[in-house]
Amino acid sequence: MTNMTAFQQQCYRVVTDSNLSPKQKSNNLALLAENHLPYVELDLETKHALEQRVICDMYEGHAPYKPRYVLPDYQLYLKQGSVWLELEPANDFDDALNMLTIIYHHVPSVTGMPVYLGRLDELLLPYVGSLTENELYARLKRFWIMLDRNLPDAFMHANIGPSDNIICRLLLRIDRELKQVAPNLTFFYDEKITPESLLTVAIACICETGKPHIANYNLIAKDFDKMGFGVVSCYNSLPVAGGGSTLSRINLKEVALRSEDRHDFLTNMLPYYCRLQLNLIKERSQFLYEKSNFFTNSFLVNEGLIKPERFAPMFGIFAMAEAVNILQEKAHLSGRYGQDEQADLLALEISQQLADFVNQHTVTYGWRNKAMLHAQSGISIDHGLTPGVRIPYGEEPDPVSHIMSVFVHHKYYSSGISDILTIDETIKNNQAALLKICLAAFELGMREFTANISGNDLVRVTGYMVRLSDIAKFKQQGSRTNTTVLGSEAASDSSGFLHRQPRVISHEQNMGHS
Amino acid sequence: MNKTWAIVNKILPFSCVDGPGNRLVIFLQGCNFHCLNCHNPYTIQLCQNCGQCVGNCPNLALSFDKGKTVWQSEQCKQCDTCIQICPNQSSPMTYRYSVEEMLTVIRKYLPFLNGITFSGGEATLQLPFIQQLFAQIKSTADLKHLTCFIDSNGYLPRQGWQKVIPLMDGAMIDLKAWDNHVHKYLTGRDNQRVKDSINYLAARNQLYEVRLLLIPEQTDLLFNVAKIAEFLNLLPHKPRIRINAFHSHGVTGNAKNWHSATQRDVENFATQLSKYGLNKLTLPAVYLT
């Protein structure tokens, strides 16, 4: 050990870790190697802000060589087959499932595994043919088990709905039966298309598994084009046939700490750090587009499954709650974010200003030449920092008041925002109540509706799922699911995740060895 | 008395245990039962304006004006010192709402609501207010889809129910003990009126739910399963039956030492009831021990 360089010691710790699988070790080693390279070139101010972690690059790596989130056009793939993968177009249901199984292994992302599995019902419906419900059930169930076991990453995300169809209903049923951590599941709700009976089924599933997460389809679709969008990883809405190139985030708490008062925050400090974050985003995307050769040699690009111009850099923020509370204290005001009208209005002003900033600045490698504003839901090392614009754990009011104080932010965060409602398990005896507040939330303008039901083993941590029982086992045995290690890291948080109501913890990237 | 305002202890915009769907629950102050096991004993008595709490409020949220105790909610930190000091075990932290003010609150939460429920305390002690509010809801275009429920101890006489039945959608009634003497020991009142209310409401299809609170070693429900089942089976329009499990959190006096009802106790009781053909049973989702 003593003769090793610092880099070798880091690698050695990964290699000899008793809780990581060989695959998990090689992912961590790759990240260490990437981070042994010099960081993409940054000006001094941006570099300083990054070092101080006022802005954060999500530990994506020093030299981005793959986009953060990739959303291939799987429909096109099934229709045309793939020259690169030597596959004919799909003829039947089994072909389609087999082809998806194959391509998922070739879709890169920040986690090394696909974060987007496609709109599965829409993708598979053309191939149902004469298969009966029972025959479809058996195939989809095997497929669902395969996803969880072969691609054990809870950032992997499938989309279904908004139409009422047999695949959508079967996947809801199977997901509820299997109670797997992966894949995560988003159900698109469209008031014009989705019958209440189907939404009721989705609500019943939430009561047992916390899944699906429900997206307000029409509202989100307005921010995209006809090609559509997917919800991937933890509540990221991104263009299909594109994705998210990179994600950086501003720690609003750090900005508030550096501000004299509210006025200084809004007129000087926030615009300053917004500019630095934009610099960071520009430099990172430039490396990805111009140096890494990702977009010049990927079969996904060559076969038209993704298009470079459909990738958006994500302009993230987090710790709104802490920022507002600090600014309130600096003004000698006691009202806290999520509980006080004045504090909430300040938060709203900050969101408006962030949205204006993002809309007013063009970026070379952006979707429609813009970045997209994102309320980032946290990473495992965020202690005492609340994800996105959420209300801090333990301070949330009842679910109705909760929704009423946060929905106003949702329209600004076009690439995703999430609030997770913690609901008492008595709701299981009265699911109509959950249905009602979901519909009301959408009526008010929430982009997404997500609930954790207390008492369940499967719970949402930031945006992905963990089994509490897995976390308990992890320390002894390790886990075959990549994200359990993150849940475990988060669970040791001083806020005492496991000792209180199931609450939301945050992180998106394996920080254990970086 | 033609009362146009109510003394309110609390309003919750989210409840999934007080009737169908999500309900705004209005907890009215004051009760005519003195249950030994009461979980909210500070809702029993109305404030007597004795002023003893005023000087003891650490946040200066209480004052005394023209013989009345005045509470300023903006100053209050909900520390409950006043409740602990009150010789009457009451709370000065109550609100007065007019019917109009209550309608404003309801409209604020309207998209979220399937209906409203009056609870307590004992809601029916302020029946004229309930009547007026329900009448307003049922006759107003944007509100009339809301269902109107009352959660009651069942002590209201028939003449009282007659006034409100045309305006409401259902009631939840607690049957706290089967034998009168046990009921009187637990609540301080007879239970004949409670049984009458159950019969009367059921006959008019206004009995949404009967609630049976299981308190090990204190209540007699377990020993009277056959009689309770016979009583409930004779009702027309069979109500839902909710079994609640006693737990000692929040209670005062001797009841603090009573045993909580366990999941096993509740399931045993439910099994026995179901043997008599009662099947619309709701059991607790959570057991606190």
**What residue in B sits closest to A427 (Cα-Cα)?**
B16
**What residue in B sits closest to A404 (Cα-Cα)?**
B109
Residue B112: pLDDT over 90: yes
Q: Provide CB contacts within 8 A for B49, sequence distance 6+.
A: B67, B68, B69
User: Three-class SS of residue B218?
Assistant: coil
Subunit contact B22:A426, Cβ cutoff 8 A: no
Q: What is the pLDDT of residues B120-148, one digit of tens each?
A: 889 999 999 999 999 999 999 999 999 99
Subunit contact B14:A432, Cβ cutoff 8 A: no
pLDDT-based confidence at residue B205 (cuts at 50, 70, 90) = very high
Residue B1: pLDDT over 80: no
CB-nearest to B282 from A400, A429, A444 is A429
Nearest-CA distance A430 → chain B (Å): 6
Token pair for A286: 């430039």
Subunit contact B13:A400, Cβ cutoff 8 A: yes
**CA-to-CA separations, B54 to A350, B40, B41, B44, B64, in angstroms, rounded:** 41, 21, 20, 20, 7
Residues of A in contact with B109 (CB under 8 A): 400, 404
Subunit contact B14:A398, Cβ cutoff 8 A: yes
Nearest-CA distance A151 → chain B (Å): 34
Quickly tell me which residue has 């690698």 as its tokens.
A11
Distance linking the first and last C-alpha atoms of chain B:
44
Token pair for A232: 């991937």
Residue range B20-49: mean pLDDT, rounded: 92
Subunit contact A427:B16, Cβ cutoff 8 A: yes
Residues of A in contact with B12 (CB under 8 A): 398
Q: Which of A457, A456, A482 is nearest to A149 (CA)?
A: A482
Q: What is the pLDDT of residues B217-247, one digit of tens each?
A: 999 999 999 999 999 999 998 899 999 999 8
Q: Provide CB contacts within 8 A for A398, sequence distance 6+.
A: B12, B13, B14
A425: DSSP letter: G
- Cα–Cα distance measured from residue B184 to residue B202, given in angstroms and rounded to the nearest whole number: 24
ipTM value of the model? 0.90
Subunit contact A400:B286, Cβ cutoff 8 A: no
Nearest-CA distance B113 → chain A (Å): 7
Give, in degrees to the nearest 5, the angle at Cα B34 between B28 and B37: 100
- Residue A385 phi/psi, 5-degree rounding, is -130, 125
CB-nearest to A432 from B15, B20, B109 is B20
* Predicted pLDDT of residue A474: 53
Token pair for A323: 């920022």
Identity of residue A155 = F
Check if the beta carbon of residue B61 is closer than 8 Å to that of residue B75: yes
Subunit contact B13:A398, Cβ cutoff 8 A: yes
Chain A contacts to B (CB-CB under 8 A): 398-401, 403-404, 424-430, 432-437, 439-440, 443-444, 455
For every residue of B235-262, DSSP letters joined together read: SSSPPEEEEEE---TT--GGGGGSPPPP
Residue range B261-273: mean pLDDT, rounded: 94
Probe site for chain A from B14, B59, B75, B107 (most A CB atoms < 10 A): B14
**What residue in A sits closest to B13 (Cα-Cα)?**
A400
Subunit contact A428:B285, Cβ cutoff 8 A: yes
Token pair for A295: 């977009």
pLDDT-based confidence at residue B8 (cuts at 50, 70, 90) = very high
- Residue B241 phi/psi, 5-degree rounding, is -120, 120
Residues of A in contact with B59 (CB under 8 A): none
Q: Provide CB contacts within 8 A for A147, sequence distance 6+.
A: A104, A117, A156, A158, A182, A183
Subunit contact A455:B286, Cβ cutoff 8 A: yes
- Residue B159 phi/psi, 5-degree rounding, is -60, -30
The one-digit pLDDT tens for each residue of chain A (514 residues) are 578 999 999 999 999 988 788 888 888 899 999 999 999 999 999 999 999 999 999 999 999 999 999 999 999 999 999 999 999 999 999 999 999 999 999 999 887 789 999 999 999 999 999 999 999 999 999 999 999 988 877 789 999 999 999 999 999 999 999 999 889 999 999 999 999 999 999 999 999 999 999 999 999 999 999 999 999 988 899 999 999 999 999 999 999 999 999 999 999 999 999 999 999 999 999 999 999 999 998 999 999 999 999 999 999 999 999 999 999 999 999 899 999 999 999 999 999 999 999 999 999 999 999 999 999 988 878 888 999 999 998 888 999 999 999 999 999 999 999 999 988 888 998 999 999 999 999 999 999 999 988 777 777 766 677 777 766 665 445 544 445 544 444 444 333 333 332 222 222 334 434 3
Q: Which long-range contacts (CB under 8 A, 24 or more apart) does A131-139 make?
A: A131/A93, A133/A166, A133/A170, A136/A93, A136/A166, A136/A167, A136/A170, A137/A170, A137/A173, A137/A174, A139/A93, A139/A94, A139/A97
* Predicted pLDDT of residue B274: 95
Residues of A in contact with B112 (CB under 8 A): 400, 403, 436-437, 440
Subunit contact A426:B12, Cβ cutoff 8 A: no
CB-nearest to B22 from A401, A429, A433 is A433
* Predicted pLDDT of residue B2: 54
* Predicted pLDDT of residue A463: 64
User: Three-class SS of residue A114?
Assistant: coil
Neighbours of B34 (CB within 10 A): 14
**What residue in A sits closest to B110 (Cα-Cα)?**
A440
pTM for this entry = 0.89
**CA-to-CA separations, A349 to A275, A300, A304, A401, B55, in angstroms, rounded:** 18, 41, 41, 20, 41
Residues of A in contact with B21 (CB under 8 A): 430, 432-433, 435-436
* Predicted pLDDT of residue A364: 95
Subunit contact B21:A424, Cβ cutoff 8 A: no
CB-nearest to A425 from B20, B21, B286 is B286
Probe site for chain B from A429, A431, A501 (most B CB atoms < 10 A): A429
Q: Which of A211-225, A491-505, B8-22, B257-271 has the lowest mean pLDDT?
A: A491-505
Subunit contact A425:B113, Cβ cutoff 8 A: no
Nearest-CA distance B283 → chain A (Å): 9
Size of interface A-B (CB pairs under 8 A): 63
- Cα–Cα distance measured from residue A185 to residue A175, given in angstroms and rounded to the nearest whole number: 9
Beta-sheet strands, E only, within A391-432: 420-423
Chain B contacts to A (CB-CB under 8 A): 12-17, 20-23, 109, 111-114, 282, 284-286
Helices (H), B139-191: 158-164, 180-187
